[in-house]
Amino acid sequence: MNLITIENPKEDETKPIINGIIEYGLSQVQNKLPRSWAFHAKDENIIVGGAIGRDHFSQFYLDHIWVREEFRSKGLGSHIHEQILDCASSCGCRRIQLNTLNKRAVDFYTKLGYSTLAIIEEYVDGFDLYYMAKEI
């Protein structure tokens, strides 16, 4: 058996490992895949904000939420979040979970009713990782 290290691997060099992890993980959850969701906020057909997430069993995982700089602090992020809540609820989710390194985002999520469940200090140089959740 050979063990090699590859710097900057190509997709075909990482895909067998990722597929193995996915295959094993799915075997543990009766092959139920998460559903992915995208939420777009458009101004004259230009995306100025949005979110990406997924639901799996009774959880909704909010992976990303973003609002273009000139549209921030005007309620758009909260409006996008309302759509996420509606979607998560209609999927039967009982909780929304997320992580962030952005302290400003922590303040935003706290105002939306999220609780900080854990903080990993200095997750990366100069940034703490916040794990947050909101029961719905």
In this prediction, residues 37-63 reach a mean pLDDT of: 97
Report the mean per-residue pLDDT for the chain.
96
Q: Choose the weakest-confidence range: 29-33, 77-81, 104-108.
A: 29-33
Look up residue 82 and give its two tokens.
Answer: 């309302």
pLDDT over 90 at 30, yes or no: no
d(C-alpha 43, C-alpha 57), whole Å? 33
pLDDT level of residue 36 (50, 70, 90 thresholds)? very high
Tell me, what's the pLDDT at 66? 97
Residue 97, strand partner residues: 61, 133
- The predicted pLDDT at position 126 comes to 94
Assign 85 a pLDDT band (cuts: 50, 70, 90).
very high
pLDDT band at 31 (very low <50, low <70, confident <90, very high): confident
If phi > 0 it is left, if psi is from -120 to 50 it is alpha, else beta; for residue 44 that is left
pLDDT at residue 113 tops 90: yes
Asked whether 106 and 132 are in contact (CB, 8 A), the reply is yes
pTM for this model (two decimals): 0.84
What pLDDT is recorded for position 125?
A: 95
Quickly state the pLDDT bin for 101 (edges 50, 70, 90). Answer: very high
